[in-house]
Amino acid sequence: MQDIEALIADLVAANHILSAEHVVDAFGHISVRDPRDPKRFFLSRARAPELIEAGDIMEFNLQGEPIDGRGRQPYLERFIHGAIYEARPEIQSVVHNHSHNVIPFGVTGEKLYPIMHSCAGIGHEVPIWDIADKFGDTNMLVSNVAMGRDLAARLGTGATALMRGHGCVVAGRSIRHAVQIAVYLDLNAGLQMRAAALGKIKFLSKGEIDAVNGPGVGSERAWEYWCVRAGVPYRSAGTPGL
């Protein structure tokens, strides 16, 4: 039980960090898979991430049904999370956000690629999912299991995907990993737009991306820094890695 409490505390911290780093605003969310049952995940009730407390965290099955709702209102787009956990057994944490810098890429079809070493976690390239391809005119929200699964299929085996006219998703091996990629996905998008205005970009090569993403990549230092910036207690993961 102690481990679950610590996991929930990290999930609450992650919500505050993503808000402090301007990856989410009133909207956007992060979840974590339940280590006791891989067919369940934890996600806040529908609330702005900066305001989330441990009592807001709900548990869902992979179809997005609450395990213990207690009258709490879930996020409409919880299906994003369940579908990615269903498709990707190795993924432990999922972020969905509408960060501003990613939007121009999703609507133009201009591909995002890692532009600097710390952004290598976004993957070799970032696919774009267009909800209209399969579902026609919608309110753009991933509001059922079928939509979630279609998005998860576009994500494929990668860490990130853009959602046309909406935002993006990030899939990580841990809460820390997903937060780090989400922060650097937005940074990469901003830098890529600025560099593109100057001239032709030399992105990281495939080998460089693989080398950065190899064993030993650690985000504990970043996690401690982000906790302090967000004003939430820092809890060591106990290992220097992810």
Closest CA to 168 of 144, 145, 184, 191: 184
Six-digit token string for 193: 């737009």
Three-state secondary structure call for residue 60 = strand
Residue 77 annotated among the catalytic residues of the structure: yes
Judge contact between 152 and 165, C-beta under 8 A.
Answer: no
Encoded tokens for 220: 């504990």
Enter the tokens of residue 42: 């934890």
- Would you state the structure tokens that stand for residue 106, as one six-digit string? 């999703």
Cβ-contact 193, 186 below 8 angstroms: no
DSSP 104-135: HHHHH-PPP---SGGGGGG-S---EE-HHHHH
Q: Could you say which of 5, 21, 59, 77 is catalytic?
A: 77
131: left (phi > 0), else alpha (psi -120 to 50), else beta? alpha
Q: CB count, 10 Å around CB of 156? A: 11
CA–CA–CA angle 42, 44, 48 (5° rounding): 150
Residue with tokens 């944490």: 93
Catalytic residues: 77
